[in-house]
Amino acid sequence: TVEDVRREIQEFYRSFAGLSDEFEVIDKIGEGTFSSVYKAVDLHNSRYFNDYWDLPNESSASESKDTPEKKPYVAIKRIYVTSSPWRILNELKILSMLKGCTTIAPLITAMRHKDQVLAVLPYFSHTDFREFYQTASIPDIQVYFRQLFDALSFVHAHHIIHRDIKPQNFLYNVHTRRGLLVDFGLAETEPERTTRKCACRTWVPGVQLKRPPKPLGGHPKNDSRPGRRSNRAGTRGFRAPEVLLKCPDQSTKIDTWSAGVLLLCFLSKRFPFFNSNDDIEALVELATVFGRRKLEECAALHGVVFETTIPTIKDAPVQLEKLIEWCLAAYKPHAALAHEARRQRFLRRSMQGTGTSSGASDRANYALTDDELRAIRFLSALLDVNPHTRLSAQQAQRHQFLRAVEL
Ligand code: ADP
Ligand code: MG
């Protein structure tokens, strides 16, 4: 409630000496796993505000001259004291490395008081994902993804993996049609090639993979094989197959997979699309869409075995077109529209006295447009279970679906 937020802001002022001299905290705007984020007015410095948010192509530049939006608003990310100093340092280091890209939130400054650390970023006014992902047109989606991939290209060029690409971390304003990548709390530097140790590192296109021996008698009760340790940081439903399979040589391609899941949410009008409780369930979800064969191959690529006796999992993948068609046909507003169109046709025909026997041509299914089919081709290049053949962020920027997008 408003009262709770007010009390929390008072507590924030009390616990962080000197904060009130620098900022007027006006609202709480986010609470994640590792931080609380507040909206504040910077009482002294407004230089960065002009640098970053008063860009010449800002359409509202002239009209908003006298509105309060012109204030130097900042977002203060208050990193929880339970975060390790290593993690906090890592996030601040990466943020300061990534300055200079218009689609990445630049670090203005960082402050520490005792065990509390604050990261100060320009405030970016954005729209809740749930308010626009179902109504976005294909051109809207193109503008969104062009900016997301511009940001990711920049991040990846610095050999940094973001690790947590999802709607909450790519802020988007539907009015200005601008996006901003935030949250480098889980980001990491891509490991050196020399330290890589997964079987996938020796992958060669076209060569049949040697599958590791399957454990005899199904799932072993006392498994004596050594466990695999790897970074699995990220968010449920957005983890790439190699993350779920505990590949120790993860690359920047895990981010393009997550971006693919995000595109799938737009195209299917479902969010979250994948919704599992753990990594095993997540693999089952992937197998349900991509088929048993692909998941088995994918596991072999990373030197592990994927085996399942779940009868609903088919060998072959479900075509993404079919999957999306099915989701759209079931999407309520569309289903209602389709129903209304059928009813109108029925009424027209019966008034003209031509009868209604042409039922076969009245397809209940949602027919995909050419634009949607182009988007799905792009989607399938992102949701490639093999990271070697999956699009990189740079390839995605240049893909025909995004190449011609005007920003
Ligand atoms: P966490 O690690 O806790 O997820 P984030 O950096 O993702 O922290 O921030 C949490 C939320 O705060 C975001 O999802 C967003 O809603 C809001 N937020 C973060 N940075 C900004 C910003 N620069 N401008 C506006 N809102 C922001
Ligand atoms: Mg976040």
In this structure, the residue with its CA closest to atom 16 of ligand 1 is: 30
* Full-model pTM: 0.88
ipTM over 0.90: yes
**Of 42, 150, 164, 183, which is the active-site residue?**
164
pLDDT in tens, 145-156: 999 999 999 999
Q: Is 124 in the pocket of ligand 1 (CB under 6 A)?
A: yes
Instruction: Kindly state if the Cβ of 75 falls inside 6 Å of ligand 1.
Output: yes
**Residue 264: per-residue pLDDT:** 98
pLDDT at position 375 over 70: yes
pLDDT digit string (tens) for 94-110? 999 999 999 999 999 99
pLDDT tens-digit profile of 323-368?
999 999 888 787 777 777 777 777 777 777 654 444 434 444 678 9
* pLDDT at residue 50, rounded to an integer: 43
Residue 123 Cβ < 6 Å to ligand 1: yes
Nearest CA to ligand 1 atom 17: 30
Q: Distance, CA 363 to ligand 1 centroid (Å)?
A: 44
178 lines ligand 1 (CB under 6 A): no
Is 164 designated active site? yes
Ranking 25-29, 197-201, 241-245, 272-276 by mean pLDDT, the lowest is 197-201
Q: How many CB atoms lie within 10 A of CB 13?
A: 14
Q: Residue 122 CA: which ligand 1 atom is closest?
A: 23
Quick one: pLDDT at residue 59? 42
